[in-house]
Amino acid sequence: MPPFELVTPATVDEAIASLRAIAGSGPAVIAGGTDLLLDIDDGRTAPGRVVSLRRLPWRTLDWTDGALTVGSTLPLRSLEDDPDLPRRLPGLWQSVHAVGSVALRHRATLGGNLGRAAPASDLIPMLLALDAEVDLVGPDGSRRLSVDAFIRSSRRTTLAPGELIRSVRVPESRPSAFLWQRVRPANDISQIAVAVAFSPTRPGWSIAVGGMPPRPVLLTDVARRLGHGRPSEELLRDACDRASREVGLASDQRASEEYRRRLVGTLLGRAVRAVVASGEVPS
Ligand SMILES: Cc1cc2nc3c(=O)[nH]c(=O)nc-3n(C[C@H](O)[C@H](O)[C@H](O)COP(=O)(O)OP(=O)(O)OC[C@H]3O[C@@H](n4cnc5c(N)ncnc54)[C@H](O)[C@@H]3O)c2cc1C
């Protein structure tokens, strides 16, 4: 691995200042390092300096004001172990549980998953379907924006130079489900991932699909067709067919386009039925 200088600032201001000093030299922030260190090792990036977020007070988890707020550097394993998560945001728990292995989740973070913005991220589709927001802090202060607005395309986000993800806010309690398909569960990335959520307050469905470049996407039109409660079998079949046809898919080394089209329809049908089975969707 090429050498680099590692700095471990103790405060957010110090971290931002360290990043400013090297703005323009590519990704140089490290949280769990499960993506960044592989990128450095493979020569995809070569930062002269890497700023560690290890000492920042962002390993937090908080259920207040009708939302879950997760600090960006909280290891995914700690999020997964929260006793309330499976009940209050089941789809989010399922998506966290789907990431790699237990050992990986002890290091990997939500901030790192968003910062990497991989097309096959398992967490981004669920965050999209749950209307999650990111809280950013940088040289010009703080700002909050939707995950949908935060992700630009494959490995590209709207983070400005020197800006960091401080936390992620997920409105609760939404019945939700996350389903994925891969060749090898722990050491592979999803060929297709489907996230579904139902919002009881402004009643309606949200659907997001990941696994293909350039980025995970919301299927707003398909979701609208499911109506404001339990869809009939006919409506659901129609929505699954449309999703299969309308998502931009292609073949690569992980799966053919045709297989992916079938997966989108099949996983969407199963995910909607799982959410309906929660008993929290009005008829
Ligand atoms: C064997 C293996 C299996 C994997 N399986 C999966 C899987 O099943 N599903 C899945 O979704 N992912 C998977 N991944 C990818 C990876 O583990 C996740 O993306 C993880 O969440 C990244 O978090 P991290 O803290 O390790 O990120 P890091 O590697 O530390 O950082 C990743 C990127 O985000 C930036 N970054 C990190 N934190 C911040 C922050 N707070 N603010 C701004 N930028 C930040 C970094 O600069 C870097 O560009 C796998 C990786 C490996 C090696």
CA neighbor of 112 nearest in space, from 82, 74, 79: 74
Tokens 């019945």 sit on residue? 175
Closest CA to ligand 1's atom 50: 100
Ligand 1 contact, 80 CB (< 6 A): no
Tokens of 238: 């129609």
Strands 156-157 and 141-146: unpaired
- Which band of pLDDT confidence, cut at 50, 70 and 90, is reported for residue 173? confident
Global pTM reads: 0.96
**What mean pLDDT is predicted for residues 193-199?**
96
**What mean pLDDT is predicted for residues 141-148?**
98
- Which band of pLDDT confidence, cut at 50, 70 and 90, is reported for residue 183? confident
Ligand 1 contact, 19 CB (< 6 A): no
> Which residue among 12, 34, 165 has the greatest number of ligand 1 atoms within 8 angstroms of its CB, and so is best to mutate?
34
Tokens of 190: 């999803």
Ligand 1 contact, 181 CB (< 6 A): no
pLDDT tens string 233-273: 999 999 999 999 988 888 888 889 999 999 999 999 999 99
